[in-house]
Chains A and B, each alone.
Chain A
Amino acid sequence: MSDTAILVEGLAKRFGDVVALDGIDFQVPAGTVFGLLGPNGAGKTTAIRILTTILAPDGGRAEVLGLDVVVQADDVRYRIGLAGQYAAIDPNLTGRENLRLTGRLAQLPGADARARADELLERFALTDAADRPARTYSGGMRRRLDVAAALVQRPQVVFLDEPTTGLDLPSRNALWEMIRELVADGTTVLLTTQYLEEADRLAERIAVVDGGKVIANDTPAALKAQLGSTVIELGMGEAARALKAGDLLAERLRTRPERDGATVRLTSGDGARQLIDVLRLLDDHQLAPTTLAVREPSMDDVFLALTGHRAEDEAAAEGEAAAAGPGRAGRGPGRRGGP
């Protein structure tokens, strides 16, 4: 077995006219966390579904632990765990029954499935609620049960599709901690996220996906370095002044300022020098900013630089759609919007 846990080459998938994956490539070394980062509709979930043998690709190939996900699908299934975007648990079964069922279907002997269920309930702080139907669980408890179910067969590769969506802060931190422990035990984790902070915190490498393509694949640090070391944010008080300031900076300092309402944002490789020039220029034109922030670039800035649009805008729009919809907004390939 190689040291590459996941190998993806030229993977393509289309649903009717919608190209979900347009030939993506990436590799994940065993025992690491790899992040797939991108807005909704970028193709992250499709990639996970192919890697977990749920969907067949139209082109390219993928291997998990050296096993082809199409040809050796059954062998792959013995070695992976999946926690999808929404807690995939049976609300009428208790927490314990859910985990035992998953264990039995993962071909664990009955006694082992029972023991493993108890162990995971303990590990995920669900022992007290273990014998209540899962429909009585809070959102955080459901998600914990779902992740526990993904770990029932001690998978060597775990796929987490937007694992912290809808979680409160303590639950999110607990899940992050759990992911780190898994990796410390040698498990390989592939996670997708729209939260740039999450990818930055957890992943050793990140592939940025947009429109079914990998548009960047690097370490979080390198992605930030590629962009420049400093972000300057100028609050101009009103949009008209921001527009003027943006035009001025673009013309005179050969920067590429981004305007967002009354805020102008610049990235720079030489923050101090740039800052002096910017403020001097603006002051000369009676455009002194009302507020000023100088900070390290976030993954959000990286995303903007790579794709030309912000990840959080789409994430927010999707969140609203999900809240408005009756259930799983945007679920299923046929109902997925274009990139």
Chain B
Amino acid sequence: MSITTAGVRRVPRGPLRPVRDALAVAERNLIAYRRVPQLLVFSTIQPVIFVLLFTYVFGGAVQSSIPGIPYVDYLMPGIFVQTTVFGAIGAAVGLATDLKSGLLERFRSLPMARSAVLAGRTGADLARNVFVASLMAAVGFLVGFRIHTGALAFVAGMLLVLLFGYVMSWIFATVGLAVGDPETAQAAAFPVMAPLVFASSAFVPVSSMPSWLQPFAEHQPVSVTASAVRALMIGGPTTSYVLQSLAWCVGILLVFVPVAVRRYRRSV
């Protein structure tokens, strides 16, 4: 059966519409990376620079506070997590751009699933993160990163990185829809992101931070995820960090998916 309006054939309405529409939007967002490769620069060159900088410049100084393992092995799991957080800013900038250009207005007048723009955007970000995380792993191995556990644990760590990146996309998607302007989105995203990334265990052990900062740095989502991924890749107590990280992911999705969808429905 196909819905016909003025002799136009349609795909029947049904439960698959949100999936089809999200795929169409995701494809559209991924084409942008092919057409404007600069979009990938921020999410690839920047983490590569971080790897080199932290390994060769700060590494010597930091090494003393992490006895027993080479700093690069400590660093890389943190870099994977940090990369997906920085990359998620793309969702804020991209959605703010679509909002400002009137594209979301067009989408909202079409008989497409209301969830598709956000699902497509975050889905495209996930696909991009698969590429970027693979690239970062390759760079890591080149500068001496070694897995101390096993291949399965490493893959599990990468999956956690990708899940966390997906969750971050929803936060920044909300930011983008809320501010509605790409430059403002970029500016608004940084203050959200910087404390999460730098006041965390991503680059240095939390024990090296001042005592007033430690409670935040110990429990915030980037830290527990970096610690979980690190435990999966180089060993150490794993279960607690993984569970904390998963709890953060679920909690953030429970809050931000409805908020983002609500913002999308109301944005013009």
Give A residues with C-beta under 8 Å from B.
49, 52-55, 74, 77-82, 84-93, 97, 101-102, 104-109, 112, 133, 149-150, 153-154, 156, 159, 327-328, 331-333
Interface centre among A85, A106, A107, A108 (most CB of B within 10 A): A107
- Residue pair A78, B111 in contact (C-beta under 8 Å): yes
- Residue pair B110, A90 in contact (C-beta under 8 Å): no
In the complex, how many angstroms separate the beta carbon of A74 from the nearest chain B beta carbon? 6
- Residue pair A54, B105 in contact (C-beta under 8 Å): yes
Query: 18 A-B residue contacts at CB 8 Å?
Result: A74-B13, A79-B6, A85-B102, A89-B101, A90-B32, A93-B28, A93-B35, A97-B28, A104-B21, A105-B24, A105-B107, A105-B112, A106-B10, A106-B112, A107-B13, A109-B2, A332-B180, A333-B268
Q: Once the chains are docked, how many angstroms separate the CA of A55 from the CA of B105? A: 10
In the complex, chain A residues whose CB is within 8 Å of the CB of B262: none
From B24, B35, B268, A49 is in contact (CB under 8 Å) with B268
Residues A78 and B28 in contact in the complex (CB < 8 Å), given A87-B102, A149-B106: no
From residue 2 to 24 of chain B, which have CB atoms closer than 8 A to chain A?
2-3, 5-11, 13, 17, 20-21, 24
> Size range of the interface on B?
35 or more
Considering the complex of A and B, which 8 residue pairs feature the smallest CB-CB distances, nearest first?
Answer: A88-B102, A77-B111, A88-B106, A82-B109, A105-B112, A92-B32, A52-B109, A92-B35
Residues A82 and B106 in contact in the complex (CB < 8 Å), given A97-B31, A101-B28, A331-B100: yes
Chain B residue at minimum C-beta to C-beta distance from A80: B109
Given A77-B111, A81-B109, A107-B3, 16 more A-B residue pairs with CB atoms under 8 Å apart are A53-B109, A54-B268, A79-B5, A82-B109, A84-B102, A88-B106, A89-B103, A91-B101, A92-B36, A104-B20, A105-B107, A108-B9, A108-B10, A112-B9, A332-B180, A333-B268
From residue 168 to 227 of chain B, which have CB atoms closer than 8 A to chain A?
180-181
In the complex, chain B residues whose CB is within 8 Å of the CB of A333: 268
Chain A residue at minimum C-beta to C-beta distance from B3: A78
In the complex, how many angstroms separate the beta carbon of B18 from the nearest chain A beta carbon? 12
**Interface class of chain A by DSSP:** loop
- Residue pair B111, A84 in contact (C-beta under 8 Å): no
In the complex, how many angstroms separate the beta carbon of B185 from the nearest chain A beta carbon? 13
In the complex, chain A residues whose CB is within 8 Å of the CB of B112: 77, 105-107
Q: Once the chains are docked, how many angstroms separate the CA of A104 from the CA of B268? A: 22
Number of A-B contacts (CB under 8 A): 116
From B3, B8, B13, B101, A88 is in contact (CB under 8 Å) with B101
Give B residues with C-beta under 8 Å from A.
2-3, 5-11, 13, 17, 20-21, 24-25, 28, 31-32, 35-36, 100-103, 105-112, 116, 180-181, 268
- Residue pair B111, A107 in contact (C-beta under 8 Å): yes
- Residue pair B102, A90 in contact (C-beta under 8 Å): no
Q: Once the chains are docked, how many angstroms separate the CA of A150 from the CA of B105? A: 12
Q: Once the chains are docked, how many angstroms separate the CA of A79 from the CA of B109? A: 10
In the complex, how many angstroms separate the beta carbon of B41 from the nearest chain A beta carbon? 15
- Residue pair A108, B11 in contact (C-beta under 8 Å): yes
In the complex, chain A residues whose CB is within 8 Å of the CB of B110: 77, 102, 105-106, 153
From B9, B21, B35, B268, A105 is in contact (CB under 8 Å) with B21
Residues A90 and B103 in contact in the complex (CB < 8 Å), given A77-B109, A106-B111, A108-B10: yes
In the complex, how many angstroms separate the beta carbon of B21 from the nearest chain A beta carbon? 6
Chain A residue at minimum C-beta to C-beta distance from B116: A105
From A52, A85, A92, A104, B24 is in contact (CB under 8 Å) with A104
In the complex, chain A residues whose CB is within 8 Å of the CB of B11: 107-109
From B8, B17, B20, B180, A154 is in contact (CB under 8 Å) with B8
In the complex, chain A residues whose CB is within 8 Å of the CB of B7: 154
